[in-house]
Amino acid sequence: MQEEKILSDEEIEILQEIMNISFGKSAADLADVIDTHVVLSVPFIKIMQVPDLPAYFKDHVKEYKTISIVEQKFWGRFKGDALLVFSSGAGRELIKMLQHETKTGFESDPIDILERETLMEVGNILIGACVGKLAELLKDVVTYTPPMVVVERDYSDAIAENRYDPDNTAIVLKTDFCFDEGDVSGFLFLITSNDSVSWMKEALRLFIEQYE
C-alpha cells in the first residue's frame, strides 16, 4: 500500500460534497423514473483494507437479519462494485409499489421470480442513478454489468468472506436510503479500489478548480 494513493482529508471532504450534490440530483430524477420519492442520506466515506470489508458490511446490515442484495459492477475510469442491500421483505413491498402499473411477469411465474425481477430493476435504476451522477460530476462515463441478485438470505452468510483481492485498499462510499412509500430501506455501498484512486484524485482537483 502506497501512502500517496490514499485520499487526504481534504479530498475526502470534496468527494463527500460531490456525492451530496450527485445523490440529491439522483433522488429528483428517480422520482420521475419510478414514481416514488427516494430519500438518500448524507453519504459516508471510509477507507479500509479489503479483508475488513465483510465484517464492515455485516456490522451495518445485521439489524435486518435477512437481506436481499443487488450487485453490479461498473467501469469507466471510475470503476468498482456497487452493492445495494435491501431490508427483508423489500422485494414484496416493491412489487406492491410498482404493481399497480405493471404486469410484465408471466401468469405462471412464481412470486420469487417476480421478486427477483423487481429487486433487480429497482436496484439497477438506483445504482445507475447514484454511480452515473457521481461519474458525471467527475466528468467520467461508466458502463455496467447486468445486475445480480441474492434474495432473502440471512445476513451472516449473504456476504462472502474472500471474494475481493486482499491486497487492495477499498474506498467505501455508503449511503442509506428509504422509500417514501412502503416500508423499504437499505444501504448502498460503492467499493472502489487502488486502480481508481489516482484518477479520482485528479478528478477531485479539477472539480474544485472550477470554484477557485
When the beta carbons of 127 and 171 are compared against another protein, the nearer one is: 127
Task: Give least dist CB 26 to another protein, A.
Answer: 7
Q: Does 97 bind another protein (CB under 8 A)?
A: no
Phi, psi of 148 (to 5 degrees): -115, 150
Task: Give least dist CB 84 to another protein, A.
Answer: 14
Site string for another protein, 19-48 (x = CB under 8 A): -------x--x--xxx--------------
Q: In what helix (H) or strand (E) does residue 154 lie, and over which residues does it extend?
A: strand 148-154
Report the distance separating Cα 144 and Cα 128, nearest Å: 8
Task: Give least dist CB 36 to another protein, A.
Answer: 12
Q: In what helix (H) or strand (E) does residue 202 lie, and over which residues does it extend?
A: helix 194-209
Nearest to residue 171, comparing CAs of 190, 153, 154?
Answer: 190
Nearest to residue 17, comparing CAs of 142, 193, 173?
Answer: 173
For another protein, the binding residues in 1-20 under the rule CB under 8 A are none
Among 50, 128, 170, 184, binds another protein (CB under 8 A): 128
**Any bridge partners for residue 190, and if so which?**
82, 173
Total residues contacting another protein by CB under 8 A comes to 29
57 burial (CB, 10 Å; 0-12 / 13-18 / 19+) is buried
When the beta carbons of 43 and 147 are compared against another protein, the nearer one is: 147
Cβ–Cβ under 8 Å, residues 78 and 137: no
Task: Give least dist CB 59 to another protein, A.
Answer: 29
Nearest to residue 179, comparing CAs of 94, 82, 114, 88?
Answer: 94
Task: Give least dist CB 48 to another protein, A.
Answer: 28
Among 68, 124, 175, 192, binds another protein (CB under 8 A): 124
Interacting residues toward another protein by CB under 8 A: 26, 29, 32-34, 98, 101-102, 104-106, 113, 116-117, 120-121, 124-125, 128-129, 132-133, 136, 141-144, 146-147
